[in-house]
Chains A and B, each alone.
Chain A
Amino acid sequence: MYASFKYLCPLSLKELFQMVDVYRDEAMLYAGGTDLLVLLRAKKVSTKYLIDIKKIPELNGIVETDSSISVGSASRFIDIHNNMLIKKWARSLYQASNQVGSVQIRFKGTLGGNIQTASPSGDGLNAAWALDAQVELMSSNGERRVPLTEFILAPRRTVILPGEVISRIYVPKRKWTYQSFFKVGRRNALAISVVNGVVALDVDDNRIIKDARISLGAVGPTPLRITKAEEFLIDKRLNDVSLEEIADIVQENVKPISDIRASAEYRSYISGISIKKQIADIMEG
């Protein structure tokens, strides 16, 4: 069914880098495969070597560091959702991980893959984006970190360099007072998001909003933080926020396209309404 490729399964970073340095652009990295296998089968992409990174220890596991939760790029959505650290420190990602595709997809798809695919509607991607995640890239030359918001340029285009692999995703250990992920799809499961997003608020004891993240997916070429909406919220008392105004600001600051799933007008409108509803829910406590 697929174009002929050789399947390689390195057991260490060293092995991986050896392969990558030799095969260069004749090789593709393979994690969950839930996007890549579909593309390969449709002959939309082809490759000579498929390098399965799932057995590399450094790319697995979810651990706590002083300042962040470090998620291995090969972590499956099911493992992310079931992880106590994620539930505690990255509730949006916890929620998003349980809404990707279906159970079977969640047993296979990875956060690293979702980020590499860089589709603006990616659920895991959008949650991580809103939470100021950093992407760690490793190569035989060393490692570097890039904010996720700078890692992705456009659908399917990232700043990853030849020879690099996404090794870990760092989600800052930030105790947002409130955060939640939402997804609008055309059905309740196995749905590519029409619009998705995150609202995260840091609210002090006097109910003043000290910081905010308003982030939306599928309404632009990459996930979008609506900084105008965030600025609108900061320094306001939570319960004094004008829900109508926040909806309008969001609606005016997204740049969706029309496609087979939804029109641009609907996406703009529902972005505003969805953020409004998330905040309204938060207000009600």
Chain B
Amino acid sequence: MGVSFILNGEKVTSHSHENTTLLEVLREEMHMYGVKKGCETGECGACTVLVDGENMNSCMMLIGEVEGKTITTIEGLSIDGKLDPIQQAFAEKGAVQCGYCTPGMILSVKGLLNRNPNPTRAQIKEALSGNLCRCTGYEQIFEAVESVVEGRENNNNE
């Protein structure tokens, strides 16, 4: 039987025990190791994935809850090997040091820009407040997000 959902554009079925979190399923059954385990209590955001476009902590979901839903992990962000502009901006703007918070952080940015394509610095800060980073002090992450927003504006103006 199992639980079927769309993972990074493909239909998959999980046969994990129903008491397994989405985080565990993604990592151990689907081998999406880009989804990180940082606390398992919803306090750090390292396990953030997109569920129907909304950024959520996969440690706070049981596998049964995602039946029929569309899940995007960091592995599913680039299309045909081309980096998503958020990934590109993170790389260019020094927003990555140890990289452990990075997948979750990028997906929270994606979730933000899904909701609000033109966020202010204050809105960016609020949107990322569920993703802890111990290395960067966040500043270059904010700058990366702002450069994506700017890039979009430039594209729109062309």
Q: Do A and B bind each other?
A: yes
Contact yes or no, A103 B127, CB < 8 A: yes
Q: What separation, in Å, do the CA atoms of A5 and B20 have in the docked complex?
A: 10
User: Given that A104-B48, A104-B108 are contacting pairs, would A189 and B18 also be in contact in the complex, using a CB cutoff of 8 Å?
Assistant: no
* B57 and A108 form a contact (CB under 8 A): yes
Q: Across the interface, do B108 and A103 meet the contact criterion of CB distance under 8 Å?
A: yes
Contact across chains for A1 and B40 when beta carbons are under 8 A apart = yes
CB distance from A160 to the nearest CB of B (A): 22
Least CB distance from A81 to B in Å reads 12
Contact present for B19 and A33 (CB under 8 Å): no
Chain B interface category by residue count: 35 or more
- Whether B40 contacts A41 by the Cβ 8 Å rule is yes
A38 and B41 contact, CB distance less than 8 A: yes
The total of interchain contacts (Cβ-Cβ below 8 angstroms) comes to: 88
Q: Which residues of B contact A52 (CB under 8 A)?
A: 62, 64-65
Give chain B residues whose Cβ lies under 8 Å from the Cβ of A105: 42, 57, 60, 130
A101 interfacial contact with B, CB 8 Å: yes
Q: Fill in one digit per residue for A30-61: 1 if any B CB lies within 8 Å of its CB, else 0.
A: 10111001100100000000101010000000
Residue of B nearest to A6 (CB): B18
Do A108 and B56 touch across chains, with their CB atoms under 8 A apart? yes
Residue of A nearest to B51 (CB): A107
- Asked whether any CB of chain B lies closer than 8 Å to the CB of A206, the reply is no
* A1-38 near B? 1/0 per residue, CB < 8 Å: 11111110100000000000000000000101110011
With A and B bound together, what is the CA distance between A5 and B18 in angstroms?
8
Does A107 lie within 8 Å of B55, measured CB to CB? yes
Residue from A4, A41, A102 within 8 A of B17 (CB atoms): A4
Residues of A within 8 A of B (CB): 1-7, 9, 30, 32-34, 37-38, 41, 50, 52, 54, 78, 101-105, 107-108, 188-190
Across the A-B interface, the 5 shortest Cβ-Cβ residue pairs: A102-B130, A189-B129, A7-B18, A7-B64, A104-B130
List 19 additional contacts besides A103-B55, A103-B129, A189-B130; criterion CB under 8 Å: A1-B40, A3-B19, A5-B19, A7-B19, A9-B67, A30-B62, A37-B59, A52-B64, A52-B65, A101-B42, A103-B112, A103-B126, A103-B130, A104-B57, A108-B56, A108-B57, A108-B61, A190-B43, A190-B129
